[in-house]
Amino acid sequence: MKGVCVDMATQRRIVKFTYEDYKHTPEDKRYELLDGELIFAPTPRIAHQRTLGRIVNPLDRFVARNDLGEVFIAPCDVVLSNTDVVQPDLLFVSKERSHIVTDDNIRGAPDLVVEVLSPSTAQRDRTLKRTLYALHGVPEYWQADTDAKIALVLTLDDGEYKVAGIYGEGQTLVSPLLPGFRLEIDRIF
């Protein structure tokens, strides 16, 4: 059920949507629910899809080979709260936290979230979603920028993300969360 708040400065009503409202959005369109606001997620560009595939394949092989948990790709609902439902491009849930994986969605913070930045989503991924992931305790967050051809690895430290690495041409991404995992940046962009 939608909640209604009143912005006292402007005396206007602000409608907040909930997970229950979100469940009734059309299945043929992608949405996210960020702080009670329904956000339409447009279809990603081809560069986005290529980059995502080049990240998910080696990550999934590494996770499976080491029996670490499961990797999921969008669209996959991650229910962080009653007013926050995201569809990260890629996420990893460790075996130790497999209880958050349900038949319908992921119920809680994944161990790792990867967002491939697109012109239509980059600002939101860098700000609002970064804050949201930190607030809900996602331990590691990667941002892959297809235009700049760099990958940013962030780790959660005392409730805030700190830069663990910025990787560009000729470099190899490493993950503090997944020791032994290596990803050559030239292969993903």
pLDDT digits (tens, 9 = 90+) for 106-124: 999 999 999 999 888 899 9
Q: Give residue-wise pLDDT tens across range 148-168.
A: 999 999 999 999 999 999 999
Average pLDDT of span 43-50: 92
Residue 1: pLDDT band by 50, 70, 90 thresholds?
Answer: very low
- Among 98, 89, 91, smallest CA distance to 67 is for 98
pLDDT above 90: residue 67: yes
> What mean pLDDT comes out for the span 20-36?
88
Q: How far apart (Å, rounded) are the C-alpha atoms in residues 48 and 76?
A: 17
pLDDT score recorded for residue 7 = 53
Going by CATH, does the domain composed of 43-188 fall within 3.90.1570.10? yes
Reported confidence tier of residue 3, pLDDT bands at 50, 70, 90:
low
- Rounded to whole angstroms, the Cα distance separating 131 from 123 reads 12
Per-residue model confidence (pLDDT) at position 8: 52
Q: Residue ranges of the alpha helices (H) in the chain? A: 19-22, 46-65, 122-126, 128-135, 185-188
The whole-chain average pLDDT of the chain stands at: 92
Rounded to whole angstroms, the maximal C-alpha distance in the chain is 57
Query: How much of the chain, in percent, has pLDDT values that exceed 70?
Result: 93
Regarding pTM above 0.75, the answer is: yes
- Between 5 and 146, whose confidence is greater? 146
pLDDT at 12 over 70: no
Q: Give the number of C-alpha atoms closer than 13 A to the C-alpha of residue 26, restricted to the C-beta side.
A: 5
Q: Residue 11's pLDDT is what?
A: 58
- pLDDT at residue 15, as a whole number: 76
DSSP 105-158: -EES--SEEEEEE-TTTHHHHHTHHHHHHHHTT-SEEEEEETTTTEEEEEEEET
User: Hey, what amino acid is at 86?
Assistant: V
